[in-house]
Amino acid sequence: MDRDDQLELYGVVADRLKVAHRRVRTLQVPESVRMALTRKLLVITAAAKHDLAEAARRLEQLNADLDEGRFPHDV
């Protein structure tokens, strides 16, 4: 992946992370579930610094889970 492609992917992942954080903040779920989802987003954010493609894959999976209503059980 050349530098321009990587910069573009960083921008896409950053934008999607912002949307995912907004979605999690507005979910009508117990606070413990919201916290678990927020931790997942923080892990994905940290992973983006080391493996952008893996972070993008994880974020896609998390968004799919949110779309399908699959949330961590009340912890």
Q: Virtual CA dihedral for 25, 68, 39, 20, nearest 10 degrees?
A: -50
d(CA 72, CA 75): 8
pLDDT at residue 7 in the model: 86
Residue 41 host element (H or E): helix 31-48
Judge whether 17 and 59 are in contact, CB under 8 Å. Answer: yes
How many domains does the chain fold into? 1
Q: Tell me whether residue 56 is in a domain.
A: yes
Q: Tell me whether residue 74 is in a domain.
A: no
pLDDT tens per residue across all 75 residues of the chain: 678 888 888 999 999 999 999 999 999 999 999 999 999 999 999 999 999 999 999 999 999 999 999 998 755
pLDDT at residue 1 in the model: 64
pLDDT at residue 2 in the model: 76
Domain extent for 47: 3-68
pLDDT at residue 6 in the model: 80
pLDDT at residue 44 in the model: 96
Q: Tell me whether residue 54 is in a domain.
A: yes
